Structure 1
Amino acid sequence: MPLAVLEFPRIDPVLVSLGPFAIRWYALAYIVGILLGWMYARALIRNERLWGGPAPLTVVDFDDFVVWVTLGIILGGRTGYVLFYNFDLFVADPLKIVKLWEGGMSFHGGFLGCVAAVVLFARSRGLSIPTVGDLTCAVAPIGILLGRLANFINGELWGRPAPDVPWAMVFPGGGPLPRHPSQLYEAGLEGLALFLLLFFAVRAGALKRPGLTVGLFACFYAVARSFCEFFREPDPQLGFLWGGMTMGMLLSVPLFLAGVGFVVHALRRPPLGRATPAEAA
């Protein structure tokens, strides 16, 4: 056992209660993440230097897209959790599917939901699918960061036992053993580090190559998530899967491969400033 174990900061998961209604930190993380991402995306669209000229979509386009991507995140995230992590539970009690306040969202499902939203919206507006995807991925780490911090506040998705780690914590519901605060590891890597990577990539011209930001996002997230899975306790209903891997690791493999494909394809095409309209589409 370590000489001292950090005390878990017992923050009430409910921020404000108004009669039967409650505002939870987890819900607030989604709301604030979407709002901050929307504001950042608008700033990127207005900065012509990042695109080598006027952006291929307008601020109004992205304003309308926010509704689509919000639905994609929620529906995809919940559907992914049901299919990938707890299918038997929801088969036994289908009404639990709509009880979002009880928790249960999958990043990989949410990512697929965003992909669907990007494709459907871009096609409906005649916009470049990779370009809309690039903007979405450039701002996504903001929501991931806030979501992982909310996971920590909720005392959920804790890490594996770490009796010799001085910053280990005893989580409510996690048993008597001190554990890795893996939610904070994920917030730092999947959120902050990924945001900074894409921030500098965008300023180095990534948006001029449609699909490059999507690829960088997918590759880095897959690696960061797989690394963090070594410290995160597997979901009890699943445990360790093939080869000792977790579900998060297995789902990150196709995500990484898809990211590599996007990066290679984007780098083989001329940047927007030199491409014809047909090539940029």
Structure 2
Amino acid sequence: MQSMIPFPDISPEIFTLSLGGFEFALRWYALAYIAGILIAWRISLRAIKTVRLWRDETAPSSADQIEDLMFWVILGIILGGRLGYVLFYQPDVYLSDPMAILRVWEGGMAFHGGMLGVVIAGWFYCWRHGLPNLSMADVIVLGVPVGLMLGRIANFINGELWGRATDLPWGVAFPGYDAQNCGDGLALCARHPSQLYEALLEGAVLLSLLLWLAWRRDALKRPGLITGVFFAGYGLARFLVEFVRQPDAQFVTEGNPLGLAFHMAGLGLTMGQILSLPMVLCGLWLMARAARVTS
């Protein structure tokens, strides 16, 4: 009999309140967003206030400007994440029912879209206030891995975005027909807990690396270095995890069981890998550019 880890009995909802016939629920996923943004904001503030981290001990902005910027960052996350999911993963569905784009409570957010939203919002704010783009980008991305880690843990609790079937001993028996439908005729099947792989690589490991570079290796004195490491690190981590992550159902067909968005001659890439490659290349370019700057 295949060994597997049973899915933990954790409700996606932390608590529910009933008021006047309406029910209001706080979900782990919403809490992950809130906590991730607040912790990232505190990390950015700490970096701005620690003047020794910056060239000539001069931070690129004030603490008040960081607080103002957070509004634009949040807006970029929500709008970019939602529109990215619509355009990258299910354009046909939303073109047939455009009002569904507004029903965010039904799920559907894409990190790559959220990242683009933050880039656009951050660039606009920096342009408007005359702030250095790359140094401000470094400040913003310092705490982003916290949100990624918490978000992936929430995905695990929700029993969503699980991985491909596996016979490894740490495979998890996720609930639901789709998760158990591995096509092998078994009553139960185990899947990679790919959400936890991403929480570790995109979250804990990447966060530790960025903080070490900023506080121990003077990385913030080289504008764009932290941003480059984040882009390359996230892109590489996501690219690798995609090999064991179950693709979105709309990409899976009888002739394409791996759900590859691009394939030719038996080889191909998932949508997550396609979107991650430009991040890796952009990150490497930023790192090379920053390496030419002397601290």
TM-score where L is the length of structure 2: 0.89
1:118 Cα deviation after fit: 1.2
Does structure 1 residue 78 correspond to structure 2 residue 82? Answer: yes
1:92 Cα deviation after fit: 2.0
Question: Whose strand fraction is larger, Structure 1's or Structure 2's?
Answer: 2
Q: Tell me the equivalent position of 1:198.
A: 210
Alignment partner of 1:237: what SS? Answer: helix
Alignment partner of 1:202: what SS? Answer: helix
Q: Tell me the equivalent position of 2:47.
A: 44
Whichever residue aligns with residue 5 of structure 2, its letter is L
Q: Tell me the equivalent position of 1:261.
A: 285
1:114 Cα deviation after fit: 0.8
1:141 Cα deviation after fit: 0.3
Does structure 1 residue 16 correspond to structure 2 residue 15? Answer: yes
Q: Deviations over 1:29-53 (max 9, x none)?
A: 0000000111111111111111140
Whichever residue aligns with residue 268 of structure 1, its letter is R
Identify unmatched segments of 5+ residues in structure 1.
272-281
Q: Deviations over 1:40-85 (max 9, x none)?
A: 1111111111114021111111010110000001111111100001
Q: Tell me the equivalent position of 1:217.
A: 230
Matches within 5 A, 1:1-281: 1-2=1-2, 4-19=3-18, 20-52=23-55, 53-162=57-166, 164-173=167-176, 174-175=179-180, 176-203=188-215, 204-238=217-251, 239-242=259-262, 243-271=267-295
Taking the aligned partners of 2:202 and 2:60, their CA distance within structure 1 comes to 28
Q: Aligned pair count?
A: 269
Alignment partner of 2:260: what SS? Answer: coil
Taking the aligned partners of 2:200 and 2:105, their CA distance within structure 1 comes to 25
Q: Tell me the equivalent position of 2:184.
A: none
User: Structure 1 stretches (4+) deviating beyond 3 angstroms?
Assistant: none
Taking the aligned partners of 2:261 and 2:67, their CA distance within structure 1 comes to 41
1:232 Cα deviation after fit: 0.5
Bigger mean CA offset, 168-177 vs 179-188 = 168-177
Taking the aligned partners of 1:270 and 1:116, their CA distance within structure 2 comes to 28
Identity, % of aligned pairs? 48
Alignment partner of 2:6: what SS? Answer: coil
1:244 Cα deviation after fit: 2.6
Bigger mean CA offset, 182-191 vs 19-28 = 19-28
Whichever residue aligns with residue 241 of structure 1, its letter is A
1:24 Cα deviation after fit: 1.0
Q: Deviations over 1:109-130 (max 9, x none)?
A: 0110110111001011110010
1:106 Cα deviation after fit: 0.6
Whichever residue aligns with residue 224 of structure 1, its letter is A
Q: CA RMSD in A?
A: 1.1
Alignment partner of 2:25: what SS? Answer: strand
TM-score where L is the length of structure 1: 0.93
1:10 Cα deviation after fit: 2.6
1:228 Cα deviation after fit: 0.6
Q: Deviations over 1:170-203 (max 9, x none)?
A: 1122013210000000000001100011011112
Whichever residue aligns with residue 50 of structure 1, its letter is L
